[in-house]
Structure 1
């Protein structure tokens, strides 16, 4: 998942200054995208402007530095829609950074693309569960460190497997509800 798509998705909603983008990413965006340093945001905005995806206007500010306010160009709009509609390849670990930002951007821009995205993620997770849920998880030891408590190691291994299984089951249930909501035109919850 490339950071520029997150920025393009935000700019699809309204023009932002680099400062406002950073603030959004620190608060609302912290669950959708990993933290972004302000230098990363400004560097990416500069690259996107050089590519013709965004343009800026100067917003004069009294008593403080003027702000560059960025907006999408028609080219940036096209790049964003091309990405939203492009094939999605799920990562091996669910709820990685790639799905959530893409989903949050795709739904209001192209509901059919969002449905394909959810269907792809759901099919991948179901196949992953079918393949992995009942695999042999026996831990085998060969010359372990003397400090290694094998019984405690087995307990934590099983507890983490159970935690992961519950989490992926909740994720799949959410994907199923979301897919129904999108296909039936009901509110997403």
Structure 2
């Protein structure tokens, strides 16, 4: 079976719960989907996991899904999974940074920002009181958007140390800038 069947014939057999048809679809499309994932994510493990999820979903939803063009369906499915995966990778740390910086903007009135001359000066003031390495790590993370792994490699420190410095920076920002907030 398999090699001589069209995609359309395989889809019909898949709907009939034919495992050989499923295996043929897997063999035909696994590598293509893996390459799409790997190109986007750069991680073999994550790419393999997403492709596995696509085929698992294809099997479990074989009776619910109307597939007109198998190749298009699989490519769109993997691109959707990739997009969701990337969104889910916004880590708790990034979320906390966003919340703190957003809170700073909400907290300061225009008048207060003018009084401080410039919000970035207030941030610079707090950062200047931190140890040089802590300040550098935060700068690379927040303003140069580097990953924890890249910062660790660049500064020759562990990823745990990078996380520690980022947490320390966020705490200092939170404490150092809250004293300027209005009491309203």
Same structural fold, with TM-score higher than 0.5 when normalized by the shorter chain: no
Q: State the TM-score, normalized to the length of structure 2.
A: 0.30
Q: Determine which structure has more spread, i.e. the larger CA radius of gyration.
A: 2
1 or 2, which has the higher helix percentage? Answer: 2
TM-score, length of structure 1 as denominator length = 0.29
